[in-house]
Structure 1
Amino acid sequence: MYVTTRLGRWFYEERGEAQRPNDPAIVLLHALLFDGSAWDEQIGPLSQLGRVVVIDGPGHGKSEVPPPFSLDDHARALVDALDALGIFKALLVGVSWGGMVAMRVALDNPMRIVGLGLIDTTADAQTRIRRVKDRVMSTVFRTIGLPPSIVEKQIAPMLFAPKTLRERPELAERVYSRVSGFPRLGVSRAVKAVSVERQSILDKVRAISCPTLVVCGREDASAPPARSEAIVNRLPRATMRLIDDAGHASPIEQPEAVNAVLVPFVREHLTSEVQPQV
């Protein structure tokens, strides 16, 4: 199914139903270089709690190639999608890129967001070195695609913990297979928005007053636990959980451990009551 936004048509899937008429929807937002299938291990248990909507980000999965955009543009487009889907209140759960967008939506629409699940993400700007590397990667991908050697040597170690790569090398292979099927221009524009041009919102997130669960892989090389701690230290109603033997893709690497903290959080806060900003 598709929903129209200012950044083009986005593919989405739904599972479950609201338990009460005014219950918020549970909206799942994936990381860069992934698609909605990254949530396969979470959809089942979460759909037992309510309506779950899984969205492919712009230029990823089955969604259309977007025009050039920023993270703020993406946040506004997500509100377009929520409006079109009749979702007036939501509990947003996002990994990395998805978490960045979720925080921006919560800042601009505090009365619509009942809770946030922020997984392996950051509110900081990208480091200078990573901006340079990702700018190069964006250009390479746009022109020739993504060589397997780059996935193996540069991207996979930033996504997965060493133990994951040793014991489940097929996960890195899936990244290559998946991204090879995405539109080159769409991925290039997403990399530019997420990494190259990302601005810090650390000075703003204090305004997010909804309950927030911050989850981070203990071995996350892309957004280390210190970045999650920086978020938690600024949010008035945030708690943090570290996931052992996980890197930047903890819901895929350690789904049971992530579900053990995420599902109770969603169950507790899946309510139509939203705390106003203070």
Structure 2
Amino acid sequence: MTFTDKLTRAVQSSGSVLCAGLDPDPDRIPKPLRDQIPDEGRLIFEFCRRVIEAVKPHVCAFKPNLAFFEALGAPGWNALEQVIDSIPSNRVVIADAKRGDIGNTAGKYREAFFDRLGADAITLNPLMGMDTIQPFTHYPDKAVFVLTLTSNEGAADFFKQRIEGGSSLSQYIAGELSRYQVQSAAHLGMVLGATQTTNLQPLLKAHPNAHLLIPGVGTQGGSIPDLEKVLENHKGVPIINSSRSILYAGRDNEDWIRYVTDQAVQLKESLHTISSRYAKKAS
């Protein structure tokens, strides 16, 4: 099964393009669970496991953010492996690693995230050059989501800068990804911030078949109606991520998981117009 096959089936079976980001910060995990499980490695696993179980009917993908696991050292990595094992096989797993290196180093990242962890996709930083992506391109069941225009204000420092010929660096990256896709077995997608909708059209035009990982909805304030408009004719499938607004919706309430579930349902419903468009394409 190709990555595109798995993604489109996940969208169809969930009726959703929503992705739940897994950013388990021990200090923000609901107090009732912290009180039960003092060990941080076990705590972040159990927190993520319960979130996965609660929201899996409402999402097409899960995106573990590697920093939150790596910060705990070996217990965090062990928790990450357990978390990924807990994700249903009919949902897409995106390792949010944002790595970017060349040669043997990139190959080792590929071994870690594709071979060892079994992630379906990874996020990569392309600023060292397109050869940083090459080791990840040989696998038709995998995808790479390349940082193309991120949701943070600092995107203006580099991604929005004009280069030779007048296009932005983001537009150049999008065009290169489209060109590289011809010879890549893996799908080459783009990370595009939901807070950047006024700047997305040239990027979608440059890489019209790209699947998209779209952070910035929820806590960062990205507009879903604006996304509906800009994605209206895009051929690739958007995966619209929300992390903190889902994970910590319950704060320190005893029944925190109910709030998590409710927030995922609300976001799924708010994305209905976009999701239904791509669920139909999947069928």
Q: TM-score range by the shorter chain?
A: 0.3 to 0.5
Please give the TM-score of this superposition, normalised by the length of structure 2.
0.33
Please give the TM-score of this superposition, normalised by the length of structure 1.
0.33
Q: Which has the higher helix share?
A: 2
